[in-house]
Structure 1
Amino acid sequence: MKLVIGLDGQSSGDKALAFAKDLAAKTTDCELIIVYVIEWSPFSFQTAEENAERHKRREEEIAVASERVVNPAVETLTKAGLSARAIVRHGDVADTIDDIAHQEGASQIIVARSSAGGLTSRIFGSSTANLVMNARVPVTVVA
């Protein structure tokens, strides 16, 4: 079984990680795929120099997210005897997590509720709501 855990770099992501860790510990042959998505719009009209700077910034953001968020999470899980790996990507959060889960053949996506504003956002968080409504695999939202 494969579980995709969407982290947001906040304490809410820690809740999703803890839930997934408990679930994985109760099963055999479970792989945890830690995913962190950096919100990124591919639509921009820029010069070649601006595109080069943008690419450099993307690479720096991936390195920071790996170092500060996903690598420590993977280390915690592997020290607990679980199989875990990380993926960091740029894109729309909900679409990217869904794409990764689908490509990886995941059984489930686990994310945490977060609040950013608006009624739906207050209930789930806008990316979480989009994921719940559109994902191709079951989504568990941890409060």
Structure 2
Amino acid sequence: MKLIIGLDGHGSGERALQFGQNLASAGTDCELLVVYVIEWSPFSFQTAEENAQRHKRREEEIALAMERVVAPAVDTLKKAGVNARGMVRHGNVADTLNAVASDEKADQIIVGRTSEGGIASRLFGSVTANLVMHADVPVTVVA
């Protein structure tokens, strides 16, 4: 079984990570893939120089997220005896988690419920809601 754990760098991601660890420790042959998505829109009009700077900034963000968020989570899982690896991607969070799950032939996506509120989330929906509605695999939302 392969589970995708969507981290957000906050407490809700930590709860999702703990839930995934508990599932993996239950005695099944399980791999956890810890994924952190940096919200990134490819749709903007920029000069060639701005695009070059943006690419450099993107690579720096990936390295920083891997170092500060993903690697510590994967290390914690491995110390607990869980088969785990991690990755960082740029893109729309819900779409990217779903794409990773598809590419990796994952069985499930696990994410934490965020406390995001306000008018924007009511009008446009949250990342979690979009993921639940559109994912190709089951999604578990951890409170």
The answer to whether the superposition gives a TM-score over 0.5 is yes
Q: Which residue of 1 aligns with 2:17?
A: 17
Percent of aligned positions with the same letter in both sequences?
71
The amino acid of 2:86's aligned partner reads A
Seen in structure 2, the aligned counterparts of structure 1 residues 27 and 118 have a Cα distance that, compared at 3 Å, is farther
Q: Which residue of 2 aligns with 1:126?
A: 126
Are 1:106 and 2:125 matched, yes or no?
Answer: no
Q: CA RMSD in A?
A: 1.5
Q: What is the SS of the residue equivalent to 1:86?
A: strand
TM-score (norm 1): 0.94
TM-score (norm 2): 0.94
Aligned mates of 1:137, 1:121 — CA distance in 2: 23
Which structure 2 residue ranges, 5 or more long, are not aligned? none
Q: Which residue of 1 aligns with 2:67?
A: 67
Seen in structure 2, the aligned counterparts of structure 1 residues 52 and 72 have a Cα distance that, compared at 3 Å, is same
Alpha carbons 1:74, 1:86 under 8 Å: kept: yes
The amino acid of 1:138's aligned partner reads P
**CA positional deviation for 1:120:** 9.1
TM-superposition CA deviations, 1:93-134 (whole Å, max 9, x none)? 000000000111111100000022247948xx7110000000
Seen in structure 2, the aligned counterparts of structure 1 residues 17 and 2 have a Cα distance that, compared at 3 Å, is same
The amino acid of 2:136's aligned partner reads R
Are 1:6 and 2:15 matched, yes or no?
Answer: no
TM-superposition CA deviations, 1:3-26 (whole Å, max 9, x none)? 000000001100000000001101
